[in-house]
């Protein structure tokens, strides 16, 4: 018994890459153009996780070290990370 493999729809590829639904749904764009755009992108959850872990390590090191005497309110990088969410 043979099995056929179905091609993924652009919306399914977007979901696999962590993009919002219909991210590549541009009027007049072919499915091929959408596949190409999706293929040239990063899977959003990957860099999001990596950068989140880097931020976590920075916060932990600064917590253990304490605020710098030159910066009594903490490190500027940590403040930027904390303000992003």
Q: What is the pLDDT of residue 1?
A: 72
Count other Cβ atoms within 10 Å, centred on residue 34.
Answer: 20
1 within domain boundaries: no
* Predicted local confidence at residue 70, as pLDDT: 63
For residue 28, tell me if it sits in a domain.
yes
Please give the pLDDT value at position 76: 61
My answer on whether 35 and 54 are in the same domain is no
Domain count, the chain: 2
- pTM for this model (two decimals): 0.59
Between the alpha carbon of residue 76 and those of residues 32, 61, 67, 70, the distances in Å are 44, 14, 11, 11
pLDDT for 65: 86
Q: What share of the chain is helix, strand, coil (3-state, %, to 5)?
A: 55, 0, 45
CB neighbours (10 Å) of residue 13? Answer: 20
Domain span holding position 66: 45-83
**Residue 65 is assigned to a structural domain of this protein:** yes
Rounded average pLDDT per 10-residue block, the chain, 85 residues: 89 94 94 94 89 94 77 59 62
């Amino acid at each position: 018994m043979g099995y056929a493999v179905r091609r993924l729809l652009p919306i399914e590829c977007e979901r696999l890459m962590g993009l919002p639904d219909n991210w590549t749904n541009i009027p007049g764009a072919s499915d091929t153009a959408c596949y190409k755009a999706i293929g040239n992108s990063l899977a959003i959850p990957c860099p999001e996780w990596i950068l989140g872990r880097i931020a976590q390590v920075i916060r932990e090191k600064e917590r253990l070290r304490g605020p710098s005497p030159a910066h009594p309110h903490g490190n500027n990088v940590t403040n930027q990370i904390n303000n992003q969410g």
